[in-house]
Chains A and B, each alone.
Chain A
Amino acid sequence: MSAAKAARQGEETKIDKVNAELVTLTYGTIVAQLCKDYESDYVEVNKQLDKMGYNIGLRLIEDYLAKSGTMRRCANFKETAEMIAKVGFKIFLNISPTISNWTTDSKQFSLIFDENPLADFVELPDDGRAQEELWFSNIFCGVLRGALEMVQMQVEAHFTSDVLRGQESTEMRVTLIRYIDDEMPVDDE
């Protein structure tokens, strides 16, 4: 096992260890099964992955807040981005995507994934469409959307490139739509 993978198992953290490859395989199986269930309708698969991620995010945020000991709100969206990349992804996946490409109004940024534990071993099906339509790691978008919604931020997130498609980098674009003022209960999708 490579050094990077060994480090990913959370040696130095208090988090219970689980074999990282088991997570990778489980996620891969889910995506493959969705592709089968939706008869390779990749647009629908992306949607389902996002929805699953959303439901995870709604729950995972409590774990993030409780275990990171976060007691105060981020002062602005820039700080939020930092916390997502440096704390959130670090706690749960032991990776720290790079933040870049801020728009001038500070409402939109990119996360560049140098490594992606979900996509180890993955090669997209070569039916000529998966490479164009499937965003394999789309669950991340949903997780961010769900988690941020719970702390009163409505965001939109989508992938713009993926090394799995033969592109140069894996990049997710995150846009702040608004801060939610009223604390309304959310619906499980």
Chain B
Amino acid sequence: MGVEFVQFSLTPILIGVLAAVACALPGNFLILRRQALIGDAISHVVLPGIVVAFLITGTVAAIPMLLGAGAAALVAVVLIEAIRRLGGIEPGAAMGVVFTALFAGGVLLLEQSDTSGVHLDVEHALMGNLETLIWLRAEGWSSLIDPVALAGLPPELPRMGFVAGSIAVLTWVFWRPLKLSTFDEGFAQAIGLPVSAIGLGLVVTAAVAAVAAFDAVGSIIVIAMFICPPAAARLMTDSLSAQVWWSVFFAILSAIAGYVLAGYGPIWLGFSNSVSAAGMIATISGAILGLACLFGPRRARVGVSAGA
């Protein structure tokens, strides 16, 4: 745990943890609202947004990428609503149509445009580039209090930290409205809560988390973290606040264990290459969900009818 760890592993792990937590927090409410696929949809539709932003600006700088991704996410939300309302189609199907079509469009755009000079490709979109978010300026743990070294941090870290922190604060501030409007929208509205604004705010927050995390870690982690930690957490407890804490714990556990296993697991097994950290983090979160399904104390609850 010396200089090498700080240089090559600390920042990717932290970014992975922050991305996982930023997605898992809104994921709790999305799952309870039967909207879990929104995260999936958003993380797919940001691809064409990013490609278009690159085609317009010619760079892969963060700001145009994030703006493009945000615009694409908005377009997708509007399209999903339009298809649902005008076509009278259930939300899951509308999301499925929109996100596959937009993602496919993004892939086509990417293939047709000249992005050979930059690291913008389908693989990057899926896996992100977690392993490259290293901190070469670091000279050990003491660098954490060294302003010069801190200035050399990968910009994804403070950005992801800001997003994750903001989402945590929003979740805390709007806890009661979120909880009540998720459980009983009619009652929430009857006591004067603006339920449409709350629902929209949740989706926008999820979109911000997805876009920021997509930039740092790719869409595989985003999709997994919106669903796996909250779903596993739901099987551990019958209290919403405990569920949210469990989901944060599972998100952090997945990010750390996934990164370590991806980097060192194959070497421990005698192979010479490491595997994709994003892929391993998502796999670990899936394994946690599997274990929660088998052994979670509240697993019997799902599908049990209340009776009359």
Pairing of A with B: no
Residues of B within 8 A of A (CB): none
Using a CB–CB distance below 8 Å, which chain A residues touch chain B? none
